[in-house]
Amino acid sequence: MQNALWDSLPAELANRVTLMVRDRVYEQGVSSVATLQMLAKVRQLNHSFADCMQPLRYLMCPHNSPYHAKSFVKGVILAAWDQIIRDAPLLTSFYSSLYTTVYTGCTLKSPWNETERYYHALASQLKELVRNGTVAPTKIEEVTWLLLFLNHVFKYLDRYYVKRMSYPKLALSLKHWYNEAAGLPTLAPPYQSHDF
């Protein structure tokens, strides 16, 4: 009965409700238990909700999961792309929760430290999502905003990991990975270690 009511809503109204719920989750941040519980309930309502909440599902992968870095990075890229498509304002609380998650992951003691896994996941997930067309910018401004957003969220990687490994700054690596995946002329990779 409950699903029948949601299925009977006009598509535009169902989409607006879905976006409103998702924006509410973005406002609350992506790390609270209450948010995780609400997300699980909302995803069961209908396919529209489940599809819209997919980036959040990736973002909510716990730190103690072996898939956290890959899942979290994919969620950040998908959430950023969704913001670009909708031309939606970036909520400070959402950005802060993403940055805090990266900071926490990078400052954990071994073997739970996620720094290297975040770096490698950024390369592989960005390439994969661009190659398969999930992230398909049509304007240079969209590419610039996406790469700038990713650079800001993962800026903590530049502080220690990138310096320690003598990699180029994260902004240059992101541009290289994007251009490589999109089939655009790339900057010569300064290090072989970028070929993930």
3-state SS, 147-189, equals HHHHHHHCCHHHHCHHHHHCCCCHHHHHHHHHHHHHCCCCCCC
pLDDT block averages, 10 residues each, the chain of length 196 = 61 70 66 64 64 76 86 93 83 86 90 91 96 91 94 92 89 93 75 49
Domain covering 62-196 assigned CATH 1.10.1760 in the classification = no
Ranges in the chain annotated CATH 1.20.1310? 62-196
Q: Phi and psi (nearest 5°) for 91? A: -80, 135
- What pLDDT is stored for residue 85 in this prediction? 85
Q: What six digits make up the tokens of 71?
A: 């899942």
Q: Phi and psi (nearest 5°) for 21? A: -65, -45
What crossing angle do the helices spanning 140-153 and 92-107 adopt, rounded to 10°? 50
Q: How many Å apart are CA 114 and CA 104, to the nearest integer?
A: 9
